[in-house]
Amino acid sequence: MAKGGFGLCVLERACPARMDLLYLLRLLLTACVFGLSQTVNPFVVQQTASDPCYDENSAPRRCIPEFVNAAFGKEVQASSTCGKPPTRHCDASDPRKAHPVSYLTDLNTASNMTCWRSESLHLSPQNVTLTLSLAKKFEVIYVSLQFCSARPESAAILKSMDYGKTWVPYQYYSSQCRKIYGKPNKATVTKQNEQEALCTDGHTDLYPLTGGLIAFSTLDGRPSAQDFDNSPVLQDWVTATDIRVIFSRPHLFRELGGRDNEEDDGGTSSFSYYYAVGEFQVGGRCKCNGHASRCVKDKEGKLVCDCKHNTEGPECDRCKPFHYDRPWQRANAREANECLACNCNLHARRCRFNMELYKLSGRKSGGVCLNCRHNTAGRHCHYCKEGFYRDMSKSISDRKACKACDCHPVGAAGKTCNQTTGQCPCKDGVTGLTCNRCAKGYQQSRSPVAPCIKIPAINPTSVVTSTEEPAVVQVNVLDMETVANWAKFTVNVLSVYKCRDERVKRGDNFLWIHMKDLACKCPKIQISRKYLVMGISENPTDRPGLMADKNSLVIQWRDAWTRRLRKLQRREKKGKCLKP
Ligand SMILES: [Ca+2]
């Protein structure tokens, strides 16, 4: 070792400590349980055009950010850094003699290791801490420190999962574990204490005086590491937002055969030491729970996962809005566990998760749509709400899939139709989808309570049916003959003014009048004359033609009536002669 052994360690290829580090890292990386199924160099970004979070068939699959040195380029807070005020070996204002904290995480070349260095400390022991904020949750595989001074005799590595608010120990190093940290030396980890920090007397030797290494592998020796996918305990154990290293005690100075303390402290004390570290590494992956293949800076410059699989959050740790059909889950090698959209048939923008329904469905679907629109209702907005029915000509996802019932205000017994068929509840004797007409055998009444009433049984001998409103026609009487007790007139119907009975048509027809009525000259009819006949109806007997009786009004035609009757005719045509 060169004079002034605590100076910069020029690492050469043959340097055994350097070999140790590389060997260890290689070992850690290839055995890494986070790794892709095939062994790849985790420091090389895979150049693939397709999204690693989806396979060639666009099916989601577990994806993970690349393995990195998460400490690289990040700022470290040190409790002590030399050079202020300057000493012979350390001057913060002189770049050639400065040992700033940035040297902990900078880009090193093997031939020129840059080292951070603490102040020279006198009264042993004094804690020196290095705190590294990763500014995001990472899954940490290892923490390593390469020393430019001798290694500390006792040191601790801690982690925080809440950005430095609380700290938990990761690992202790001491030649006197019990005395310094109250821990047994090299205890075994069992499934019961996988989240416990251990203490070891490894990595604490005084030698090598420079270039020594402290390297902590977070999963090494922990039983569930082989089944990391199914171990929430270890998933938690490797998660960290900050890493802190505490150098608790140096080796006794006299063992080092002190040479530069005379220069640094003016020889007032024979106990002087410092710590110097050339490289502080935190190997791991940006924590994205298997739902992102990279981390990116957000608008505020914060590092966040580039979440896929319908997830969101800094660690893709929750489902995106409207993707609550099943609970959020971390992706694993077999299942992407992507968040699934609620099925609301395009009628809702929001939904919530319901555990009961999810369990009832055999853990398939638990989404419940909120505020179904377009008059739909139900968990999936899959049927029509009250007062609406399904238009079967349209798909359920159509905005117009549900039509208003439109029940007739008089004919229907309520406003709510069958949600599937649209059938309104009809009052007695009423029929039709909206209850808008009388059923067969019923006729319209004027009562809103019973708008359709049963038609009374028709007596075939009854002369005029009470329901039929007799027509008003103009006839030209052409001839007459007698058939039994009836007078049968051959007439030509010139005009029909009331069309209640649509069978009364213009043209030749027969007009029957019973002899009994004719005898008393009511009506009185002469051949070759025109008459206006009010109260003419279809002959209800089996004789073809029309019929008049003593109730009919038969008046000899006057041309002056033509205009007035035309008016009546026009009014009738405007819809007043429609069937009820
Ligand atoms: Ca360095």
Query: What is the residue-wise DSSP string for 70-107?
Result: TTTT--EEES--S-SS--SS--TT-TTT---GGGGSS-
Per-residue pLDDT band for 467 (boundaries 50, 70, 90) equals very low
How far away, in angstroms, is 108 Cα from ligand 1 center? 5
Q: Do residues 495 and 506 make contact, with C-beta atoms less than 8 angstroms apart?
A: yes
pLDDT for residue 272 is more than 50: yes
How far away, in angstroms, is 10 Cα from ligand 1 center? 12
How far away, in angstroms, is 295 Cα from ligand 1 center? 25
Residue identified by tokens 């000509």 is 393
Compare 163 and 575 and report the one with higher pLDDT: 163
How far away, in angstroms, is 116 Cα from ligand 1 center? 7
How far away, in angstroms, is 106 Cα from ligand 1 center? 5
Q: Given this model, what pLDDT does residue 473 score?
A: 82
Which of these ranges, 195-209, 330-344, 480-494, 556-570, has the smallest mean pLDDT?
556-570
Per-residue pLDDT band for 470 (boundaries 50, 70, 90) equals low
User: Closest by alpha carbon to 69, among 239, 214, 283?
Assistant: 283
Q: pLDDT by residue (tens digit) across 506-552?
A: 888 888 888 877 776 656 788 888 888 877 777 766 777 888 877 77
How far away, in angstroms, is 113 Cα from ligand 1 center? 5
Per-residue pLDDT band for 463 (boundaries 50, 70, 90) equals very low
How far away, in angstroms, is 69 Cα from ligand 1 center? 13
How far away, in angstroms, is 12 Cα from ligand 1 center? 15
- For 198, other C-beta atoms within 10 Å of its C-beta total 23
How far away, in angstroms, is 72 Cα from ligand 1 center? 10
Compare 578 and 249 and report the one with higher pLDDT: 249
How far away, in angstroms, is 220 Cα from ligand 1 center? 26
Q: Given this model, what pLDDT does residue 12 score?
A: 32
Structure tokens at 542: 């089996």
Q: Given this model, what pLDDT does residue 232 score?
A: 94
State which amino acid sits at residue 331.
Answer: A
How far away, in angstroms, is 76 Cα from ligand 1 center? 12
Per-residue pLDDT band for 295 (boundaries 50, 70, 90) equals very high
How far away, in angstroms, is 149 Cα from ligand 1 center? 13
State which amino acid sits at residue 77.
Answer: Q
Q: pLDDT by residue (tens digit) across 29-84?
A: 444 444 433 344 445 444 445 899 999 999 999 999 999 999 999 999 999 999 98
How far away, in angstroms, is 267 Cα from ligand 1 center? 30
Q: Given this model, what pLDDT does residue 556 score?
A: 82
Q: Given this model, what pLDDT does residue 574 score?
A: 63
How far away, in angstroms, is 146 Cα from ligand 1 center? 9
Rg of the chain on CA atoms, in Å: 51
- CA angle 478/479/482 to nearest 5° reads 155
Q: pLDDT by residue (tens digit) across 119-131?
A: 998 876 689 999 9
Determine the Cα–Cα distance for residues 83 and 89; give it in Å rounded to an integer. Answer: 8
Q: How many residues in total does the chain contain?
A: 580
Q: pLDDT by residue (tens digit) across 380-422?
A: 999 999 999 999 999 999 999 999 999 999 999 998 998 888 8
How far away, in angstroms, is 493 Cα from ligand 1 center? 120
Q: Given this model, what pLDDT does residue 518 score?
A: 77
Q: Do residues 536 and 552 make contact, with C-beta atoms less than 8 angstroms apart?
A: yes
How far away, in angstroms, is 105 Cα from ligand 1 center? 6
How far away, in angstroms, is 562 Cα from ligand 1 center? 119
> What stretches of 362-468 show up as alpha helix (H) in DSSP?
none
Which of these ranges, 81-95, 179-193, 267-281, 350-364, has the smallest mean pLDDT?
267-281
Q: Given this model, what pLDDT does residue 472 score?
A: 78
Average confidence score pLDDT of the chain: 83
pLDDT for residue 26 is more than 50: no
User: Closest by alpha carbon to 497, among 464, 521, 473?
Assistant: 473
How far away, in angstroms, is 132 Cα from ligand 1 center? 15
How far away, in angstroms, is 18 Cα from ligand 1 center? 14
- For 188, other C-beta atoms within 10 Å of its C-beta total 9
